[in-house]
Structure 1
Amino acid sequence: MSDSSGTDATPFADLDHYLALPRLGGLALSADGERLVVGVSTLDKDATAWVGSLWDVDPSGDRAARRLTRGAKGESSPAFTPDGDLLFVARRGEDDDAVAELHLLPAGGGEPRVVATHPGGVESVTTPRTGSAVLVQGSALPRSTDLADEKERRKARKEKKVSAILHADYPVRYWDHDLGPAAPRLYAAEPTGTSPEPAGPGRHRAGHAAAADPLDEPTLELRDLTPDAGVTLVETRHVLAPDGTFVVTEVTEPEGGASRRQSVVRIDVATGERTTVLAADADEEFAVGAVSDDGTRLAYVRERRSTPASAPRPWLAVLDLTTGEARDLTDGWDRWPGETCWLPDGSGLLVVADDDGRAPVFHVDAGTGAVTRLTDEGAFSAVTVAPDGAAAYALRSSYAHPPEVVRIDLAGVPGRDGAAATDPVAATVTALRGPVDRPALPGTLRDVETRTADGTRVRSWLALPEGAGPEDPAPLLLWIHGGPLGSWNSWSWRWNPWLMVARGYAVLLPDPALSTGYGQDFVERGWGRWGDAPYTDLMAATDAAEALPEVDAARTAAMGGSFGGYMANWVAGHTDRFRAVVTHASLWDLDAFSGTTDASFYWEREMTPQMRREHSPSTYVTEITTPVLVIHGDKDYRVPIGEGLRLWYDLLHASGLPQAPDGTTAHRFLYFPDENHWVLTPQHARLWYEVVLGFLAQHVLGEEAPELPQLLG
C-alpha cells in the first residue's frame, strides 16, 4: 500500500478517476469469528450511481479478499446467521419499482436466494450470535393489519397517484426524505415452508405460510413485533440480544410544543411484549449501545439535554436488565462516547470517541469505568469483537487514507494476560488484505496548532501539495466542517481535500470551538455563540497556516457546508481577507431556519431570540465584498432551500460587492433541484467540484472565468 506520491500517479488529479475509486462501508463478522464480510461500492456502467457488492476478507490476513455478490443493483447490510449463512439486502429484476428483499447466501456455497420480502421493502436485517431469531426492519402504513393488507393499501395509493400525507405529530421530514405515511416496524423473521409460488418482484414469500415440501428451501415469515409503533421508531436505533430472545430499541414520543423525547424499551421476540427500561424526562435522553453477551446488561449513552446556556453532555452508562439498576461509567471522562460493543466476558467495553482530530478505540472497564486508549492514528467505525475476545475488527480511516479493514489485537487490554489497568496500552492494529489498496495521494498531511488570544489551543489538519515551499508557496483553502458538533478526523468521499491539493491548493481543516474531541469546555466555548469563538478560532488557525513558508497568504479562499456554510457566510460578512467564499447548504437567517428545519425542537433548545438576532449572517450582508458561490439542493430538509434562496437574493440585492455596469455580479448560485444536503449522485458530485474549482481558479488564482462544465448545458 502507498500513502503518498506525486500528482502523476494520483487519481485525485482527474474527477472521473476519483469517482471510480471503490469505497468500503459496512462490516459483518460470523458468529464463529472465521469469516469477515465488507461492503464495496463502485460506479455502475453509466457512471450515474454507486452499486454495492459484498467481499469476503480473511480475518487472519493471509488470503486475498474475494468477491461474493455481483447483483446489477447491488447488495448491502450483510449479517451472518449463527449457522454461518450470509443474509443481505438487495433489489433484483429490471423493474424500477422493485423493492429491496432479504437474500441468503448459504455458508456452504451456492447461489443467493430470496428468503423474505416486504411490500415496502426490507430496510435492514439484524442477526444474533446464537438462537434462530432474525430481526428485519421494514416500513408499513399506519392502518395495515398484515403484509397482504399492506400490499393492497400501497397499490391503491400508487394507482390513484396519491402522495399526500396527513400528519398529527412532528417532525414531518428528516434530512432528505419525507416522513410518512409509512413508518418503521420491527419484524421477527422465522423459518416457514416455502410457498409453491415463485418469489420475485411483487411476490411475498414472507407471510405465505404454505405446507412445507421437503424439497423446498425454507423461507422466512415476518411476524410484526411493533404493530402499534406509529412514528415512535422513526430514525431510531435498535439492538438484538446475542441469543436473539429480545430487542432493545429507542422510541421517540411527543412531549408537547412540537418536541420529542427519547426513551428505551425492551421487546420480547417470542411474545412481542414491550417494557420500558429507560424513561426519558425533561433533562435527559438515552441512546442504545449494546447488550452484553450474557444478555443481562445494556450499555447505553445517557445525555444531558442542551439548553441555551449549556451544550449536550453525553456519557456511557450500564443498565442491569434484571434488576433495573443503572450505573454511570464514564461521567468523569471528558470525551463523548460513540460506537460501543461489549467484550465477550463482560469485563469491559470497546468505545469509539472523537479525540484530538482522531476517533480511536478505547477500553472502558465495566466495573470501575476506567478508560484506556487502545489505538493511535485513525478514526475507527463498525467495531466488532471476535467471539474469543482475542481481537476486534473495524474500519479505519483518516485524512491520509480511505476506510480499510483492520484487526485490533486485544491481548494487552487491562485485565487480560495479567495487564493492569494502569499499564500503558497500545493495541496492535493490522491492516487486512481488503478489496482495495490505499490510493496514492498528491501531497502530505500534517498537524498544525496555534493558540488563540485567550490561550486556547486550536489544532487543524493541513494537506499540502507536493513541491509546496518557500520558492513555490501554495494558495490556501480554509475548509470549515459541518455539525457543528463534529471534527475533521475521518476520510470523506464527499468533502475530500485531496481533489483541491491535486490542483495545487493547501487545504486547512481546522477544529474550532464547538468541535468534539477536545473536551466539554471546548464545545461550551461556542455554544449559543456561533459567531464568536468558532470564528476567532478559524481566523487564528488561518493565521498559523499563512505563516508557514509553504503557504501563499496573498491567495486564500474559505468554504464550508452546513454549519461550515454558516461559518463561510459569517466569514464573508466579517472579513475581506479571502479572495472567494464557497458556501454549501448553509444557514443564513437563523430565525427562518429554526422553524423550517427538520427537527426544529433540537435547535430551539440552543437558539434564543437574542442568539438568532446576534448570530445570523444575514445581518451583515452589506459587509460582504467577496465573491460568493452559493450551492444548495432542493431536497435538503436539514437546511431548507429557503436559506439558499434568501441568501442568493440578499447577495444580489444588498451585498457590498459592486455590480458591473450591466447589472451582472461576481456571485454565483449552483442549484440542484433533485439533490439533498450533501449532493450525492456521481455526476452531480462531479459538477459540484468542477464549478467550485472553476470559481476558485478565477478568483483565487486570477485565471480567466472557466468554460461552464458540459453537463450544465
Structure 2
Amino acid sequence: MGGVNNENVTQHSAADAPPTPFHDLDAYTALPRLGGLSLSPDGTRLIAGVATLDKEPAEATRYRTALWEIDPVGERAPRRLTRGAKGESQPVFTPEGDLLFVAARDEDEPAALWAVPATGGEARCVASHPGGVSAVHVAAQSGTVVIQAQALHGAADLEEDKQVRKERKDKKVSAILHEDYGVRFWDHDLGPGSARLYAATLDAAVVAGPDDAAEHEGSAELRDLTPDARRQNLSCAVSADGSFLVSTWRVHEGRASTRTDLVRIDAATGERRVLLRADETYDFGAPTISPDGATLVYTRSRRSTPELAPQPELWSMDLDSGSTRRLAGDLDLWLSAGSPQAWLPDSSRLLATADANGRGAIIEINPADGTARRLSLSDPDATYTDVIAAPDGVSAYALRTSYASPSEPVRIDLASGEVSALRSPAPRPALPGSLTEVETTTADGTRVRAWLCLPQGASADEPAPLLLWIHGGPLNSWNAWSWRWCPWIMVARGYAVLLPDPALSTGYGQDFIQRGWGSWGAAPYTDLMAITDATEARSDIDDSRTAAMGGSFGGYMANWVAGHTDRFDAIVTHASLWALDQFGPTTDAAAYWSREISPEMVAEHSPHLSVEEIRTPVLVVHGDKDYRVPIGEGLRLWYELLSASGLPQDEDGSTVHRFLYFPDENHWVLTPQHSKIWYDVILDFLSRHVLQEDSGELPRLLG
C-alpha cells in the first residue's frame, strides 16, 4: 500500500494469471470472515467470531458465526469452540474466566445467554428471555452480568410476555400500535417491545455444569433495571465493581424529534439519574467507564443543521465532581466515536481509533489532561478496529484490515508500535491484482486521494477499463475491507477499480466534510470527476472504457453523475437516494436527515430533477426490506428512467436500463445466493456496456 504494489501479490500477465477466490463467486462466498475480539482476564485467551457458510457454496443460504480461540502469543493454531446451528455472537469473559455468549440453538427459539466454563466442557444456556437476548455486559471485577433484551410494553412479567408473544404468533398478529416516532430501523420493525437492561443473577453451579444442572438451564433470575424504556437501543457500560451502569437514554422531544441523554443506573435498585442532558446542540453516546470507576468517557456529537456538519468529539467526566473535559481536541481526526474505547488496566490511558487519510489510526489519550498522540505503528497503512488492552498494559490486541486484506488479529506493542500478526482462523486470501494510491488537487486547491485496485497485467500495452466505485455514508471512507462491496471481484474480471474519498469523507479533517455538507452535488461530484481525470491519465488505464457505481449515498452520487455527465459507458446505482423530498420523510431516520436536507438542498441537489439529462444505461438495484433508503426511491427511479430519461427507447418499448429487485433483501443484500446474483448481474451489465461483450454470466435462477 502507500503507492506500491502489495508485497503478497506476484505480478503476472493477464494470460497466465493464477486463479484466486475472487475469480469464482462460490469460492469467494466460501471464504471465512473474521469479526470481533474478546480477551480473557488473564490475557491468555483471545476469542473471535468467524462467519462461514451453512452449506456448500452452491447450496448455502446463510452465514453462521462460530467462536474461535486465538493464541495471543501467536504460537498455537486457532481452535473452534462452538458449533451452534444458528451461530454465536457477543463473546465476553467473567472474572473467573467463564466464556459467555449469545446464541439461539433452535430455529424456533429466541437467542439466549450461554456459557462455557473456564474448566472446559459443553456450553450451557444460563439465561433466557421471551424477547431474546441481544447483548451481554460483564463487570470486570465483580462479575455482575447485565443483558439487553426486548420486552413487551403491557406484560406484567416475563411469563405474561412469553404468553402474549405465543398468542401473537399463533394468531398471526403482526400489528404494532405506535405512539411516537420510530417505526423501522435499517431492515426490521421497531416494536411491539422495547429494549430493556436486566441484571442477571447467574447460578455458578449451572455455569460450572454439574450433572444435575440441566434442569436449571436458562433459569437465571432477570431483574429489570429499565422498566420504563421506550423503543430504543440502550448502549451501556458496566462499572468494574458492578455497582452501576451508564447508558444512553432516548428522550422524545415532540415533533418527531428525539435527543439522547446519558444516565447513571444503580445496579442494585435501578435508580436512575441523568448525568448529561442533551439539547438542541449536542447528543451523547458510547459510554465507557475507567477500570477504577472514577472516569466516564463518552461521545458528544454536535447536531447537524442544513449549514453545519456533525462533529463527534470524545469527552470525559469525573464521576465524583461531575467536571468534564474534551479529549484529543488538538487532533483534527474523525474519531470512531460509535465504538467503545479501550482503557488500560490502571486507568491511566485510553486507546481510541480514528479515520485518517484513507487508513485508520490508534490514538492514545491521557484522560487526566485530555492530551493525545497517534501511535507510531509499524504498519501505518492499515485500519485498526476492536482494540483491546492486555492486562499487563504493555500491549494491545486488535483486528487489522485494509483493501489489501480482510480483518486479521494482531498484537501491538504500545511502546514501540510494533504490530505482529497472530495465527488467524481466517487466512488472508490471495488477491488478483495490486493496490496502489492516487491523488490530485482540485480547482479549489483541495487534495483528493483514492485507492486504486489494478488487475494483474495492466500496463500501457494492455490498459484496463476503469470502474469508479463511490462509497456510501456519506460520512465514510474507503479505508477498510468490505465483504459486501469487494472491488477484487471486479479486478479479477479485468477492471481497474477506483475507490475515492471525495468531500464529505472522513479522515481528512472537519473542513473536508464541511465542503460538501448540504451540497452533495457540488464538491463531492467535482472531487469525484477530478480524481477520475487523474486516474484516467495513467498509461495503464483505458479512458475509453469506463463505468461508475455506488450504493446508498454512493448510489445517490451515481444518480447525480448519470444526470450531469455522459463520460461513462454504464452506471450502477444500488439502494440509492433519488428524490430527496421523498427520501427525507420516509427513511427510518427522518429526524436526522431533516437536519441537513433543507428545501433549498432538494431544489439544488436532488438527482430526480435531472432525469431528462440521463443518456447512459443505468442498472438500478434495490431491496424491498431496505428501510434506510426505502424501496419507493428505487421504484420511482425505475419509472422515471423509463418514462423521462434522455436515452431513447426502441419502438417496442424495450430499454437498455435494468432493475434488479430483491423482494426480501435489505440495504446491503446479504444472503449468499443473492450476493452472487448481485455480482453476476452487475458484471454482465458492465460487460455489455463497457466491454461491448456478452458475459454469459446471468444466473439461470433469475428465470
TM-score band w.r.t. shorter chain: over 0.9
For 2:142, the equivalent position in structure 1 comes to 131
**1:51/1:707 Cα in 2 relative to 1: closer, same or farther (>3 Å)?**
closer
* Contact 2:198–2:225 (CA under 8 A) maintained in structure 1: yes
Native 8 Å contact 2:197 2:226 kept in 1:
yes
1:636 aligned to 2:626?
yes
Query: Which of 457, 463, 470 does residue 467 from structure 1 map onto?
Result: 457
5 Å-filtered alignment, 1:609-648, equals 609-648=599-638
For 1:418, the equivalent position in structure 2 comes to: none
Query: Could you tell me how far apart the structure 1 residues matched to 2:595 and 2:200 are?
Result: 40
Measure the CA separation in 2 of the matches of 1:222 and 1:3: 51
Distance 1:621 1:213, change over 3 A: closer
Aligned equivalents of 1:255 and 1:332: distance in 2?
Answer: 33
Match of 2:350 in 1: 349
* 2:3 aligned partner: none
Is this contact kept in 2: 1:264–1:288, CA < 8 A? Answer: no
Per the alignment, residue 361 of structure 2 pairs with 360
Residues 473-519 of structure 1 show CA distances to partners (whole Å, capped at 9, x for unaligned) of 00000000000000000000000000000000000000000000000
Shift of 1:346: 2.1
The within-5 A match list for 1:93-492 is 93=106, 96-192=107-203, 220-231=220-231, 234-338=232-336, 339=339, 340-374=341-375, 375=377, 376-412=380-416, 427-492=417-482
Distance 1:602 1:12 in 2: 38
Q: Which residue of 1 aligns with 2:81?
A: 68
Change (3 A) 1:215 1:4: same
Q: Secondary structure at the match of 1:359?
A: strand
RMSD: 1.8
Secondary structure of the residue that 1:41 maps to in structure 2? Answer: strand
**Paired letter, 1:306:** S
1:353-387 alpha-carbon deviations (Å, 9 max, x no partner): 10000111111222332222113121111111112
Residue 92 of structure 2 corresponds to 79
Secondary structure of the corresponding residue to residue 39 of structure 1: strand
Q: TM-score normalised to the size of structure 2?
A: 0.94
Counterparts of 1:554 and 1:122, CA distance in 2: 54
What do the CA deviations read for 1:545-573 (whole angstroms, capped 9, x no partner)?
10111110000000000000000000000
**CA distance, structure 1, for counterparts of residue 393 and residue 559 of structure 2:** 49
- Deviation (angstroms), 1:2: 7.8
Please tell me whether the aligned partners of residues 683 and 695 of structure 2 are also in contact (alpha carbons under 8 angstroms): no
Provide closer, same or farther for how the CA distance between residues 662 and 259 of structure 1 changes in structure 2, counting only shifts above 3 A: same
Which amino acid is 1:702 matched to? Answer: Q
1:572 to 543, 558, 562: 562
Letter of the 1:145 partner, please give it. A
Judge conservation of contact 1:192–1:218 (CA < 8 Å) in 2: no
Which whole-Å deviations, capped at 9, do the CAs of 1:277-332 have from their partners, x for residues lacking one? 11101111111231101011111111221111110122111011111111112333
Distance (whole Å) between structure 2 residues aligned to residue 230 and residue 287 of structure 1: 17
58, 63, 70: which one aligns with 1:50:
63
1:73 shift after superposition: 1.9
How many angstroms apart in 1 are the aligned matches of 2:512 and 2:503? 6
Partner residue of 1:12?
22
Q: What residue ranges of structure 1 are gaps of 5+ in the alignment?
A: 200-211, 413-426
Opposite residue 88 of structure 2, the aligned amino acid is E
Quote the Cα distance in structure 1 between the aligned partners of 2:19 and 2:94. Answer: 42
- Runs of 5+ unmatched residues, structure 2: 1-5
Q: Which moved more, 1:402-411 or 1:363-372?
A: 363-372
Secondary structure (helix, strand or coil) at the match of 1:8 reads coil
SS in 2 for 1:711: helix
TM value normalised by structure 1: 0.93
Rounded to whole Å, the distance in 2 between the matches of 1:89 and 1:329 is 33
Tell me the distance in 1 between the aligned counterparts of 2:111 and 2:99: 16
Asked whether the 8 Å contact 2:432–2:456 carries over to 1, the reply is yes
What residue identity is the alignment partner of 2:68?
Answer: W
Q: Kindly tell me the number of residue pairs found equivalent between the two proteins.
A: 680
Please say if residues 193 and 213 of structure 1, whose CA atoms lie closer than 8 Å, have aligned partners that are also in contact.
no
SS of equivalent residue, structure 1 residue 501: helix
Q: Which residue number corresponds to residue 661 of structure 1?
A: 651
Aligned partner (choices 627, 641, 644) of residue 651 of structure 1:
641
Check conservation: 1:194, 1:217, Cα contact below 8 A: no
Residue 708 of structure 1, CA deviation: 3.1
- Report if the CA contact (8 A) 1:267-1:273 is conserved: yes
Aligned position for 2:515: 525
Asked whether the 8 Å contact 1:194–1:216 carries over to 2, the reply is no
CA distance in 2, matches of 1:193, 1:702: 67
Contact 2:555/2:577 (CA < 8 Å) preserved in 1? yes
Deviation at 1:192? 4.0
